[in-house]
Amino acid sequence: MAADVHKKKSWEVPNGSLAPGDGQHAERSESPTPGLAQGTEPGAGQEGAMFVHTRSYEDLTSPEDGAAVARSPEERRGEPAEQSSMEQISKDFSELSTQLTGIALDLEEEMRPGKEGKLEPSPQTNRRDSVLSGKEEEDVTMDAWRMHRKHVFVLSEAGKPVYSRYGSEEALSSTMGVMMALVSFLEAEKNAIRSIHADGYKVVFVRRSPLVLVAVARTQQSEQEIAHELLYIYYQILSLLTWTQLNHIFQQKQNYDLRRLLAGSERITDNLLDLMAHDPSFLMGAVRCLPLAASVRDAVSSSLQQAKAKSLVFSILLSGNQLVSLVRKKDQFLHPIDLHLLFNLISSSSSFREGEAWTPICLPKFNSSGFFHAHISYLEQEMDLCLLLVSTDREDFFTVSDCKRRFQERLRRRGVHHALQEALRTPFYSVAQVGIPDLRHFIYKSKSSGLFTSPEIEAPYVQEEEKERLLGLYQYLHSRAHNSSRPLKNIYFTGPRENLLAWVTNAFELYVCYSPLGTKAGAINAVNKLMKWIRKEEDRLFILTPQTY
């Protein structure tokens, strides 16, 4: 296990060779072509990236899997994909279009060890109900529906329950025992991903010693994508405890009850699972920026940059789950996964609204063995702007707190406060701005910057179920495009409710949703128009000039 971590370090370490170097930029092309070199695509930073360079989600899975991702020798834009895979896609897609809205079978029932099992399927007896009762009551049908879509369990290698998404771990412990037995049966080596496909659902196991994570999913996600979500949960646990502490604990006592240490954090993990079901950031392995005029963003970034302190590593300003600005210490890169975990932490608790929080936090992809200390506060009571200052020195609270004060003072002096407030009023843009009639929605990711952009999800995807169905379609396209044995660069599909296109190159990834009335020629035409629009708007939709202290 230790060796594994070291191996990872060599390609995860912030200033590792995978971080794109500066000055590799060619001319920024007016009309992007598939041959665009990485670093010249719309959204690519002009002065290097902010993040550790990742290849989407592949690097989340074990290195062996990552290495297996074939790089297709050349682009075959416009050409139909292989016949067999198109047929498969066709089949999968129609299943997806219908099944995702259909009523799922009662998985809870199937999970039950016996008819008289102690398991409580009723959401009312849920452990978290006391916490979320208001929301839960409004939404019982919705939650019941979700409840059956994906169960997530975390257990220790000794089979002790650690976390369960629905129902108490106590009640589920017999189920966990069965899973444990399955895991040890399936496990030949540590850190492997295994899955069982049964009638309509997948059971995916991820073992990250000393923990085992299990998902029972009725979603159409691929095994890889489910494993990817489980790994996020694993990283979430590491962010609270550190890898070193987690291992130390279980070395001392194999059957330690980890719930003691995780008490109160269930909400954070619950929130992460909910977020992954509707925020494409996780699927894309990228970060979305708050749309903001470049001049305003630059003023914010400069203010952040100037409010520095010796112990600061990252200064992050965010709104909702969108990034407003990120300033980092020179040579230190943040991993998008770590940033997602921070986003999730903040969105899962209203406790940060009061005073100034000063909390230990591990950024597992940056360094899984130790804690940083994060200063977390909202800029103003009624404004959705949260400032996160990540420091290496736990004793440095007052210095870091002073950085916040200086930042706010600079913002005021530069007079961008008002512009920021305006931007927060419309945190999302409408796809209508692009001016393509058949275009319903899209996700565009710049690979070199690790940033993506996507308009608000609008009609006909109004209902929560519909929104999740759309994300499910993107997930599906994504998994087809990144299939490790046969990755596809172009996918176009015509369905009864929408047409979809995916286009993955070395520089970017684009997923587009059209109304079902359009043609393929129209769709390809629209892509060119869309890419031009993104290029035109890139300085508003992306952070092109990231700053360092």
Residues in contact with other proteins by the rule CB under 8 A: 130-134, 240-242, 244-245, 260-265, 267, 311, 345, 349-352, 354-362, 367, 369-372, 374, 392-395, 397-398, 401
H-assigned helices in 73-191: 83-99, 107-111, 129-138, 140-147, 169-186
Residue whose CB is less far from other proteins, 131 or 140: 131
Q: Report the interhelical angle of 294-306 vs 397-414 (nearest 10°).
A: 150
**CA torsion angle 157 160 164 167 (round to 10):** 150
Choose between 37 and 357: whose C-beta lies nearer to other proteins: 357
Tokens of 429: 């843009």
Nearer to other proteins, 136 or 466 (CB): 136
CB of 393 to other proteins, least distance (A): 6
Shortest reach from residue 263's CB to other proteins, in Å:
6
Nearer to other proteins, 262 or 411 (CB): 262
Strand order in the sheet with 499-504: 287-288, 451-453, 439-446, 508-514, 499-504, 490-494
d(C-alpha 417, C-alpha 296), whole Å? 9
- Toward other proteins, which CB reaches closer, 209 or 401? 401
For strands 322-328 and 547-548, give the pairing.
Answer: parallel
Q: Which residue, among 280, 139, 163, 178, has the nearest Cα to 211 in the 3D structure?
A: 163
Terminus-to-terminus CA distance in the chain, angstroms? 35
CB of 548 to other proteins, least distance (A): 17
Cβ-based neighbour number of residue 525 at 10 Å: 14
Query: Nearest distance from residue 348's CB to other proteins, in Å?
Result: 9
> Which CB sits closer to other proteins, 189 or 395?
395
Cβ atoms of 301 and 46 closer than 8 Å:
no
- Fill in the amino acid letter for 266: E
Question: Is the Cβ of residue 156 or residue 242 nearer to other proteins in the bound state?
Answer: 242
Distance in Å, CB of 36 to other proteins, minimum: 37
**Cβ atoms 491, 87 nearer than 8 A:** no
- Of 182 and 249, which CB lies nearer to other proteins in the complex structure? 249
DSSP conformational letter for 413: H
CB of 343 to other proteins, least distance (A): 14
Q: Please report the DSSP string for 239-259 in residue order.
A: HHH-HHHHHHHHHH-TT--TH
Q: Tell me which amino acid residue 321 is.
A: N
**Least distance CB 328 / other proteins (angstroms):** 15
CB of 140 to other proteins, least distance (A): 17
CB of 15 to other proteins, least distance (A): 14
Residue 140 dihedral angles phi and psi, to the nearest 5° = -55, -45
Type of residue numbered 126 = N
- Pairwise CA distance, residues 314 & 304, whole Å: 10
Q: Which is nearer to other proteins, 273 or 346 (CB)?
A: 346
Nearest distance in Å: CB 308, other proteins: 15
DSSP tag of 149: T
Residue 543 near residue 318, CB atoms below 8 Å: no
Judged by CB, which is closer to other proteins: 120, or 136?
136
What is the distance between the alpha carbons of residues 273 and 270, in angstroms, rounded to a whole number? 5
Q: How far apart are CA 111 and CA 94, in angstroms?
A: 27
Complex with other proteins: residue 352 or 407, whichever CB lies closer: 352
CB of 241 to other proteins, least distance (A): 7
Shortest Cβ 361–other proteins spacing (Å): 8
| Cβ closest to other proteins, residue 62 vs residue 368 | 368
Residue 26 has, within 13 A of its CA and on its CB side, a CA count of: 10
Helical (H) or strand (E) element with 343? helix 336-347
Strands 451-453, 490-494: pairing kind: unpaired
